[in-house]
Amino acid sequence: MTEATVPPAPARSSILVVNGPNLNLLGTREPEKYGTATLGDIERLCAGAADAHGLECDFVQSNHEGALVDAIHEARQKSLGIVINAGAYTHTSVAIRDAISAVELPAVEVHITNVHAREPFRHHSYLSDVCRAVIAGAGPLGYRFAIDYLAELTRDRNV
């Protein structure tokens, strides 16, 4: 088959939304900091935001670092981008950082709280400089902003 007759690969239409440790407890976890929205509420928010752009979301939440790395690797073949709240692994995980770098997909780091207004150990992120954008302190809306950004970034692009 000549190059001219090779059909174009179908455009990717799915964003991977990754949530790390303890985010399964949203809704009841320190609501004065994290609010009362559950992880299910946030996933519905993400799905609605993606749908408005003609996109879909895949979701993963795990309390285990390796499971998050595996999920990021799987995105390489099927996702157009990654939204990631790695929870506490944000501040500790070279492995998650390296996974984001390795898959070469645009990623957005999200935090529900403003980590820069919290304890000093939350001010450093291993992920920020390998992500295209960082959103912190906007609550669950941060996930929606991240999806809007990725949709705009990848519009008309077969990533």
Residues acting as catalytic residues? 34, 111
Total number of residues binding ligand DHK (CB under 6 A)? 10
Out of 13, 14, 22, 38, the residue judged to bind ligand DHK by CB under 6 A: 22
Out of 15, 37, 87, 99, the residue judged to bind ligand DHK by CB under 6 A: 87
Q: Which range in 51-59, 63-71, 80-88, 99-107 contacts ligand DHK by CB under 6 A?
A: 80-88
Tokens of 82: 């990654």
Which CB contacts under 8 angstroms, 24+ apart, belong to 29-37?
Answer: 33/113, 34/112, 34/113, 35/112, 35/139, 35/140, 37/139, 37/140
- Interatomic CA distance for residues 153 and 65, integer angstroms: 28
| Residue 120 C-beta: closest distance to ligand DHK, Å | 11
Whichever of 57 and 112 has its CB closer to ligand DHK, that residue is 112
Per-position x/- string for 105-124, each x denoting binding to ligand DHK as judged by CB under 6 A, each - no binding: ------xxx-x------x--
For the chain, give the longest Cα–Cα distance. 61
DSSP state of 24: G
Chain positions contacting ligand DHK, by CB under 6 A:
22, 85, 87-88, 90, 111-113, 115, 122
